[in-house]
Homo-oligomer: A and B are copies of this chain.
Amino acid sequence: MDAWGMIAASAAEAPPDLEGSADGRRVIILGAGLAGMTAAYELAKLGYETPIIEARDFAGGRCQTARRGFVQTEVTGRTQRALFDEGQHFNHGPWRIPYHHRSTLHYTREFDVPLEIMVNDNPNAWAYREEEDGNPFSGERVRIRELRADIGGYTAELLAKAVDQSRLDDELTEEDRERLIDYLVSFGQLDRSALEYRGTGGRGYEEDPGAGLNPGVPSDPHAFRDVLSHGAINSFRAIDSHTQKNTMFQPVGGMDQLARGFERAVGHMIDYGQEVVEIRQNDDGVRIVVEDRGTGETREVEGDYCLCTIPLSVLNQIPSDLSPEFSQAMNQVTYASTGKIGLQFGRRFWELDDHIYGGHTITNLQGIGNITYPSYGWQEQKGVLQGYYNFGSDAIEVSAMTSAERTRFALEAGSKIHGEAYEREFETAFSVAWHLIPYSLGGWASWSSDARQNAYPILNEPDGRILLAGEHLSYMTGWMSGAIESAWIQMEKIHQHAQATATRVQEAA
C-alpha cells in the first residue's frame, strides 16, 4: 500500500485542487450525508464514478430539518410524524454554522443556499435557577443582561480599587495602571471617581427612557454575593468559545436546505433505501452487499475503492473485511447521547411578552439545559422553540419517555419560566433522541484523549481499499465542517492512490 501518499494538511477553505483523471475508477460511497455527498460531488468532477448507497429515503444524514410530514422512527419502533404548520420548521440536528466554518460556507455559496443569522447570544433571554434552599434566585427568572452587567461591574470595581490602591504587587507601570483603570471603568461602567459599580443602562431599566417627560428609571444591581451564587455566571466569557462566536448562520428555511443543495448536484448518484449489510475487499477492489429496505432483496455493488461515511456506532455492527486493528480502533470511540425537542406555539409569547428574539434561556433544569428561541419568522404569529437540548445520561433518561411524555416534560419545565402561556399556546411537538435514531445511533463521535491518540490516527488511514470519512474523523466532531473537510482529505488520498497506481500500470504497459 505504498501508493498511499502523504497528504499535507488540507485547506479548510475549499476542496483540494486536484489534477489528473479518474482513469475509469469507481468509488463506492457509503452514506449520503454531507461527507458522502461532498466526496461524490468533488470526485465526480474528476471523472470518478461515485455511486452512493444510502439507507434512508432521503439525503443529508444527520443534516435534517423536521417540518410538516417529516417522519422519524427510533430503534425502539417509536414513530413520530411532525405536525408543524406549513412554514414552520425545527432543526433537530445541526443548527449552527459559525463564520469560520469555511468549508460549510463554501458549499452554501456553491449551491446557492441562502443564509440568515442564527441569534446565538441574547442577553435579554432569561437565566433560570431551579428552586433550591438558600439560593437567592431560587425559582426565579432573571435577565441574563442583569447578571452579565453586575458580575462584570463588581469584578471591575474590585480590581480597579485594588489597582488604584496599589494592593497588587504586579509589574504594572504607573501608565499601565492608569490604562487598566480606564479600561475597567469602561468595561464595568464604574463611577469614575469612586470606582464603584452602581448599575448601568445595559443591564436594563425599571422603566425604559421614552418620549416626552420620561427619562427612564434606572435599575438597581443585584447584590454582589447574590450574583456570585447564580450558577449562570459561569457560562459568561470575555470572548465566546471558538465554535460559538458571532457571526453565526443558519440556512433560510432549515438546515436541510444545505443537504438539498448537495442533493441537487449528486442526487442522481444516490441509491436510497439501501442498507449496507457487508463490506468486502481484496487487493483489487471492494464489494458491498446491500439490502433493499423495501423488497428485502440483497445485491452486490463493486468498485475500486470504498469511502465509508457510516457513523462508527453503526459501522462497527456491519460485517466487513476491515483489519482487526482497524476494527479495534473503531470500537474505542463512543457516540454522544443527545436529544432535542421542538415545540410549536400558536403565539410567539417570548417575542410579544418577553421581548426575546432568538438566543438561549439558560436553565439548570435537569434534562432541559437551554431553551432556544427561533431565529426565523420574526414577528410572525407562530413559531417553533427548542424546548430542551440534553446530553449524556440526561438525554438517555428523557429519551426513555414516550413522545407525549417528553412533550409534557418540556412543557412543565418551560412553564416555570414562561408561565401559563407555555401550556396555553402549545400546539405540537417533535423530539429527537439521536442515540436512538437508526443509521446514526448517536449525535456525534466523542473521542477520549486516549482514543484520540491511539485509535484516531489508525482510522484516518486507509484499510486496504476502504477509507472512512465523516465528522468522527475530525477535530470538529459534531459539526458539519468536520464531515466536509474529512471528505476532502480522504478523497484526495483516494485520488492520489488512483493516480499512482494508474501511472504504474501505464509504465508497465
Contact A355 B124 (CB under 8 A): no
- Give the distance in Å from the alpha carbon of A201 to the alpha carbon of B473 in the complex: 20
Q: Which residues of B contact A167 (CB under 8 A)?
A: 162, 167-169
Contact B123 A239 (CB under 8 A): yes
Q: Which residues of B contact A246 (CB under 8 A)?
A: 119, 121-124, 359
- Give the distance in Å from the alpha carbon of A234 to the alpha carbon of B158 in the complex: 18
Copies of this chain:
2
Q: Which residues of B contact A153 (CB under 8 A)?
A: 238
Segment among A255-263, A309-317, A417-425, A485-493 that sits at the interface with chain B? A485-493
Contact A12 B210 (CB under 8 A): yes
Q: Would A476 and B10 be within 8 Å (CB), given that A108-B379, A246-B121 are in contact? A: no
**Binary per-residue interface labels of chain A (88-100) against chain B in the complex, 1 for a CB within 8 Å, 0 otherwise:** 0000000000011
Counting CB contacts under 8 A, is A126 at the interface? no
A212 in complex: contacting residue of B7, B100, B357, CB < 8 Å: B7
- Give the distance in Å from the alpha carbon of A182 to the alpha carbon of B215 in the complex: 38
**Binary per-residue interface labels of chain A (149-190) against chain B in the complex, 1 for a CB within 8 Å, 0 otherwise:** 101110110110011000111101100100110111011110
Segment among A67-75, A225-233, A383-391, A404-412 that sits at the interface with chain B? A225-233
Contact A189 B237 (CB under 8 A): yes
Contact A211 B176 (CB under 8 A): no
A471 nearest in chain B by CB position: B211
Counting CB contacts under 8 A, is A80 at the interface? no
Counting CB contacts under 8 A, is A240 at the interface? yes
Q: Which residues of B contact A357 (CB under 8 A)?
A: 99, 247, 249
Contact A239 B200 (CB under 8 A): yes
**Binary per-residue interface labels of chain A (404-441) against chain B in the complex, 1 for a CB within 8 Å, 0 otherwise:** 00000000000000000000000000000000000000
A186 in complex: contacting residue of B114, B163, B236, B358, CB < 8 Å: B236
A242 in complex: contacting residue of B114, B168, B205, B242, CB < 8 Å: B205
- Give the distance in Å from the alpha carbon of A387 to the alpha carbon of B473 in the complex: 42
Contact A474 B211 (CB under 8 A): yes
Contact A168 B162 (CB under 8 A): yes
Contact A242 B202 (CB under 8 A): yes
A237 in complex: contacting residue of B100, B102, B202, CB < 8 Å: B202
A375 nearest in chain B by CB position: B117
Counting CB contacts under 8 A, is A319 at the interface? no
A228 nearest in chain B by CB position: B179
Contact B237 A475 (CB under 8 A): no
Q: Which residues of B contact A238 (CB under 8 A)?
A: 148-149, 151-153, 156, 187-189, 202
Contact B239 A473 (CB under 8 A): no
A493 nearest in chain B by CB position: B212
Q: Would A473 and B379 be within 8 Å (CB), given that A239-B123, A355-B100 are in contact? A: no
State how many angstroms separate the Cβ of A187 from the closest Cβ of chain B.
6
Counting CB contacts under 8 A, is A299 at the interface? no
- Give the distance in Å from the alpha carbon of A115 to the alpha carbon of B376 in the complex: 10
State how many angstroms separate the Cβ of A354 from the closest Cβ of chain B.
10
Q: Would A475 and B209 be within 8 Å (CB), given that A237-B187, A238-B189 are in contact? A: yes
Q: Which residues of B contact A145 (CB under 8 A)?
A: 239, 245
Q: Which residues of B contact A159 (CB under 8 A)?
A: 155, 158-159, 162
Q: Which residues of B contact A325 (CB under 8 A)?
A: none
Residues in chain A within 8 A of chain B (CB atoms): 7, 9-10, 12, 99-100, 102, 105, 108-109, 114-117, 119, 121-124, 145, 148-149, 151-153, 155-156, 158-159, 162-163, 167-170, 172-173, 176, 179-180, 182-184, 186-189, 200-205, 207-216, 224-225, 228-229, 233-242, 245-247, 249, 355-359, 375, 378-379, 457, 460, 473-476, 481-482, 484-486, 488-490
Cβ-closest 8 pairs across A and B:
A152-B238, A211-B485, A211-B474, A117-B117, A209-B475, A202-B239, A201-B242, A211-B486
Listed A/B pairs (20) with beta-carbon separation below 8 Å: A9-B212, A99-B356, A105-B379, A122-B246, A145-B239, A149-B239, A155-B159, A155-B180, A156-B238, A158-B168, A176-B228, A186-B235, A187-B237, A189-B237, A202-B242, A209-B242, A209-B475, A211-B476, A211-B488, A246-B359
